[in-house]
Amino acid sequence: MQTFKLRSGEEIPAIGFGTWKLADGSEAVRSVQHALESGYRLIDTAAHYGNEASIGKAVNKAEFGRSEVWVTTKLWSDDLGYDSALEACDASLERLGLDYVDVYLIHWPANQRRRDAWKALVELKKTGKARHIGVSNFTPQHLEELKTVSEVVPEVNQIELHPFIYQEQKDIVEYCREHQIMVQSYSPLGSGELLDNKILEQIAASYNKTPAQVLIRWALHHETIPLPRSSNPQRIAENIDVFDFQLYEEDMRRLDTVNKTHRTVTDPHVIP
Ligand code: A2P
């Protein structure tokens, strides 16, 4: 598995498995088990997804040691604030059946209580309940604001990212690169809705790869960590089988400037 370096120098898996919309229960446990068997070593969940118990079950059942897999979860907006964030993290750990998470993120900048929540995350890192801390859906404006709260800079910012939204999210990607904040890309396949885009299909055919594999490769070339979701064992394996080809510069440029906009969730730029 390829890795990227966090600001601290620690290596993090270059691809993760997304679990948004995987309903808690046997399907989620099975999907995460398939992902681990296929080679994924980073599993991304959130309190709000309602499936932490299943994700924890699959991770705890794995044959390899806990330290070999990264588990990310996120603080939901209702729990922003200092005490509520500390309590929410404990509740997530309880549901996951884990002593610590590898990455704990503020899920959305939602409201001003994000400031106290960030102080709580700094504390969670100190106590070891979260090995790494960061945010999700934060724009440069939200990230600048955090500088007034603590000198601790997020290690990760998880955002919606794929070619069909790249131009709108580019400011975030560039800010994060300048500040050594690792970008994780959720919905790297554009939620699977634009895989039949003609330019994408053409490029994929020229490499003898699938459109999904090209999108994942695109995210890696931008040095972001894609978090593709799937509940289908073949597609789970297909989405990590991307280390035997490179995209040419010209194809990267074509994908960067593909003339189509598609956003799966709220634009964080509108959150004050
Ligand atoms: P499924 O679970 O049936 O595989 P994203 O990761 O951008 O959020 O996209 C997830 C969506 O894309 C899901 O609906 C998933 O459906 C679908 N998907 C995941 N991998 C592939 C793939 N390799 N080819 C086609 N569709 C895929």
Q: Which atom of ligand 1 is nearest to the CA of 234?
A: 23
Q: Could you report the per-residue pLDDT of 54-67, keeping only the tens digit for each?
A: 999 999 999 889 99
User: Is 207 among the residues known to form the active site?
Assistant: no
Residue 188 has pLDDT above 80, yes or no: yes
Q: Does the beta carbon of 22 sit less than 6 angstroms from any atom of ligand 1?
A: no
Query: What is the structure's pLDDT at 45?
Result: 98
Closest CA to ligand 1's atom 27: 192
The secondary structure of residue 229, as a DSSP letter, is: B
Q: Which residues contact 261 (CB under 8 A, 6 or more apart)?
A: 164, 165, 167, 168
At 120, list the tokens. Answer: 């709580």
Residue 1 has pLDDT above 90, yes or no: no
Q: Does the beta carbon of 165 sit less than 6 angstroms from any atom of ligand 1?
A: no
**Residue 40 binned pLDDT confidence (cut-offs 50, 70, 90):** very high
Residue 165 has pLDDT above 90, yes or no: yes
Residue from 51, 162, 229, 263 to probe ligand 1 pocket by mutation (most atoms less than 8 Å from CB):
229
Q: Does the beta carbon of 160 sit less than 6 angstroms from any atom of ligand 1?
A: no
Mean pLDDT of the chain: 97
Please tell me the distance between residue 235's alpha carbon and the centre of ligand 1 in angstroms: 7
Query: What is the structure's pLDDT at 259?
Result: 73
Q: Could you report the per-residue pLDDT of 111-140, keeping only the tens digit for each?
A: 999 999 999 999 999 999 999 999 999 999
Active-site position among 40, 49, 166, 175: 49
Q: Could you report the per-residue pLDDT of 190-244, keeping only the tens digit for each?
A: 999 889 999 999 999 999 999 999 999 999 999 999 999 999 999 999 999 999 9
Residue 69 has pLDDT above 90, yes or no: yes
Residue from 49, 232, 241 to probe ligand 1 pocket by mutation (most atoms less than 8 Å from CB):
232
Q: Which atom of ligand 1 is nearest to the CA of 235?
A: 23
At 118, list the tokens. Answer: 């960030």
Q: Are 21 and 191 in contact (CB under 8 A)?
A: no
**Residue 176 binned pLDDT confidence (cut-offs 50, 70, 90):** very high
At 21, list the tokens. Answer: 């919309």
User: Does the pTM exceed 0.75?
Assistant: yes
Q: Which atom of ligand 1 is nearest to the CA of 231?
A: 2
Q: Which residues contact 158 (CB under 8 A, 6 or more apart)?
A: 44, 72, 74, 105, 134, 135, 136, 137, 183, 184, 185, 186, 227
